[in-house]
Amino acid sequence: MYMTQCLQRTLQQTPDHLATIFGSRRQTYRQFGERVARLAAALQALGMAPGDRVSMFALNSDRYLEYIMGVWWGGGVLNPVNSRWSVPEIVYSLDDCSTGILLVDEHFAALAVGIRNSARQAPLLIYAGEGEVPTGMLGFEQLIAEAAPVEDAGRGGDDLACIMYTGGTTGFPKGVMQSHLNLWSACMPRMVDMPPVRGGRLLHVAPLFHVAGMARALIQFLAGETHVLVPSFDAEGLLHIIERERITETLLVPTMILALLAHPDFDRYDLGSLVRLTYGASPSAGEMVEQLLARLPHLELSHSYGLTEACPVVSSNLPWNHTPEARQSGLSRSVGRGGLGVNVKIVDPHGREVPRGTVGEIIVRGPNIMLGYWNKPEETARALRDGWLYTGDGAYMDEQGYLFIVDRLKDMIVSGGENVYSAEVENVLAGHPAVAMAAVIGIPHEQWGEAVHAVVVRQPGAEVDEAELRQYCREFIAGYKCPKSIEFRDTLPLSAAGKILKRELRKSL
């Protein structure tokens, strides 16, 4: 169970199959494998020993996939850099796990010198972008051209594969340690539930530095199929590449899907090749699903719930739960059931399992669960208890084992002594045809302690006011759960993974 085995298998069986498409560059698995083996040799020559960390600060590209496989082929450990972080956050992540080599592309080369000068251990810089290599950096292409390929180091099992730093919503970011076995155990059950499309082309839009993007790339490697990459999300560019490259699958967050649906040329593009779309990062996507399937009724939709510590998938709501009947019953609002090999329970504050339909904390156990947090034994002990990962996510489970997320436990609103789960209110708001996105938070209130406050983004061209939305909510949920105040904005602050940053909303109030 080592993550480069899938590349070895494809090189043996289908070496001339198309591996990557990035802009005008196309390469077969034979070409890709040769570059990976040469990159591994170059990194070893630069001092990468088994278990050493190597980072990449870049947008999606074919070179990013070469970095992932090249580091593992050479025996190293990935430490992908969140491209939306500030320089101090990046420096912290590099210093925390003693990263000695940093690859950068043209989008972030200007920041690399400041990072190197600020880091406790100045990393060696490799330029993996387009155009001329900046002064003081080594060239990615030259390193590959001058290196002789090496054999796969074959690190696997419980060997550390990746350190992914979480967003640092409180205090400093935490480095989630993922082993080869963790990643393997996360990908294989997903392939059982949703086998990749045979001969398919997967479009990478989600950033590869994020666990969801990387895990989906690993599944495509396991299948030996084709990766198509774009640097970042652009609605028109995405529609164009789906048509041009006959894309079969992709992973998007709801904000991206809504932007596609709102594009005036959406219906002019031939999107018939797209047979499957996975969405995540938002449980309140009911109206979006209706709009999407009205425009592309042939599409297979699936929704996943997970977290970095689970590498990442805990549960999936599969295409058959997006049928008209399932959507009408409310089952499509679930995040699905636990995957193969993943045990899921809902527990009270004492760790005792609660009855079905009762809200509690999701805890998870399985071979996909992280090794722990790098250099943080106390935080590891709080998160991993008796073999279970305590997620901090509030949910309930129905009689069939389907999970329904209600909130991050720390985000629960207590209004007049009643518990209000923001996801429940957001789900209702998202069902209004004029609402594109909604976020619900608690704000201080003299009488109730906290009041339910909603921040709403309207659908393009739609008109709806506060009174109409409040009345709409009263049709579906109790009065104390309905927003006491609603504000309208053009956009909501989002993380790199497309999740709404509620801490930023609170700061702005």
Q: What pLDDT score does 411 carry? A: 73
Residue 134: helix, strand or coil by DSSP?
coil
Q: What is the pLDDT of residue 169?
A: 38
Contact 155, 180 (CB under 8 A): yes
pLDDT band at 488, cuts 50/70/90? very high
Two structure tokens written together for 224: 């030996």
* Residue 488 CB partners (closer than 8 Å, separation 6+): 455, 456, 457, 458
Helices (H), 342-391: 377-383
Q: What pLDDT is recorded for position 281?
A: 61
The mean-pLDDT minimum among 22-26, 60-64, 259-263 falls in: 259-263
CA distance 453 to 441: 5
> Residue 143 above 80 pLDDT?
yes
Percent of the chain with pLDDT over 90: 74
pLDDT per residue as tens digits for the range 367-378: 999 999 999 999
Classify 479 as helix, strand or coil: helix
- Distance from C-alpha of 302 to C-alpha of 325, rounded to nearest angstrom: 15
Lowest mean pLDDT among 6-20, 269-283, 392-406: 269-283
Rounded to whole angstroms, the Cα distance separating 483 from 464 reads 15
Give the pLDDT confidence of 384-434 residue by residue, as tens digits: 999 999 998 889 999 999 999 887 777 778 776 676 878 788 888 988 999
Nearest to 85 by CA among 121, 118, 57, 119: 57
In this structure, what DSSP letter does residue 67 have? H
What's the pLDDT score for residue 285?
A: 64
Question: Locate tokens 């959406």: which residue?
Answer: 266
Percentage above 70 pLDDT, the chain: 96
Indicate whether 203 pLDDT > 70: yes
Whether 283 has a pLDDT exceeding 80, the answer reads no
The correct CATH number of 27-176 out of 3.40.50.300, 3.30.70.270, 3.20.20.70, 3.40.50.980 is 3.40.50.980
> In sequence order, which ranges of 224-364 are alpha helices (DSSP H)?
235-245, 254-262, 286-295, 324-329
Q: Kindly report, residue by residue over 331-379, the tens digit of the pLDDT.
A: 888 999 998 999 999 999 999 999 999 999 999 999 999 999 999 999 9
Average pLDDT over residues 123-135: 97
Contact between residue 31 and residue 19 where contact means Cβ atoms under 8 Å apart: yes
Confidence of residue 330 (pLDDT cuts 50, 70, 90): confident
Where residue 318 falls among pLDDT bands split at 50, 70, 90?
very high
Tell me whether strands 449-458 and 485-488 are parallel, antiparallel or unpaired.
parallel
* Helix or strand holding residue 373 (H, E): strand 372-373
Q: Tell me, what's the pLDDT at 171?
A: 55
For the cut 50, the answer to whether the pLDDT of residue 380 exceeds it is yes
In the structure, what pLDDT confidence band is assigned to residue 170 with cuts at 50, 70 and 90? Answer: very low
Per CATH, the homologous superfamily of domain 412-508 is ANL, C-terminal domain (3.30.300.30)
* Structure-token pair, residue 297: 């009724």
Q: Which range has the worst mean pLDDT, 80-89, 125-134, 218-227?
A: 80-89
Report residue 391: phi and psi, to 5°: -80, -25
CA–CA distance, 347 with 356 (Å, rounded to integer): 10
d(CA 308, CA 169): 14
In CATH, the number for domain 233-408 is 3.40.50.12780
Delimit the domains of the chain by residue range. Answer: 27-176, 233-408, 412-508
Specify whether the CB–CB gap between 189 and 339 falls below 8 A: yes
Considering only the C-alpha atoms of the chain, give the largest distance between any 2 of them, rounded to a whole number of Å. Answer: 72
| Predicted confidence (pLDDT) at residue 47 exceeds the cutoff of 90 | yes
In this chain, the answer to whether the domains covering 27-176 and 233-408 adopt an identical fold is: yes
DSSP 8-state code for residue 368:
T
Please tell me the predicted confidence (pLDDT) of residue 85: 82
